[in-house]
Amino acid sequence: MNESCFQIFINPEDTLLHKVKLSTNEKVERVRRAHLNDLENILIFFMAAFAFCLTNPSFSWANFLFKTYTISRIAHTIVYAVVPVPQPARAIAWFIGYFITGYMALTSILYFAA
């Protein structure tokens, strides 16, 4: 959507229809980087969360971790792509999600290694 709104295209085949030159736009690139960051982090979280669920954690603790992770990712995406905020806001939101994913992965590894 951003590409067609701004008439900015990064793939040569997309410019043929619109007859424009290849170029970039910082707003489009920022949203693209935010989406890429989400894809990279959320997939790893899903794997760690699945393994964590197999460790039979308490419902309230797992629920807290899942909700906190979700809120941190939403906050990260907002301060990265929607309303860019200076650091350390984005880093704090990212580290919260990173810590939760790491905790779940480590808990799972220790559970299954025993």
Q: Which tens digits make up the pLDDT trace of 45-75?
A: 999 999 999 999 999 999 999 999 999 999 9
Percentage of the chain beyond pLDDT 90 is 64
Q: Is residue 16 part of a domain?
A: no
What is the Cα–Cα distance from 59 to 45, expressed in whole angstroms? 18
Check residue 12 and give its pLDDT: 63
pTM of the model: 0.79
What range defines the domain where residue 106 resides?
A: 26-113
Instruction: Tally the domains of the chain.
Output: 1
Q: Is residue 78 part of a domain?
A: yes
* pLDDT of 1 higher than 70: no
Q: Is residue 10 part of a domain?
A: no
Helices (H), the chain: 2-6, 12-18, 26-53, 59-77, 89-113
Q: Is residue 37 part of a domain?
A: yes
Check residue 15 and give its pLDDT: 64
Q: Is residue 20 part of a domain?
A: no
pLDDT category of residue 2 using cuts at 50, 70 and 90: very low
Residue 105 sits in a domain whose CATH number is 1.20.120.550
Q: Is residue 107 part of a domain?
A: yes
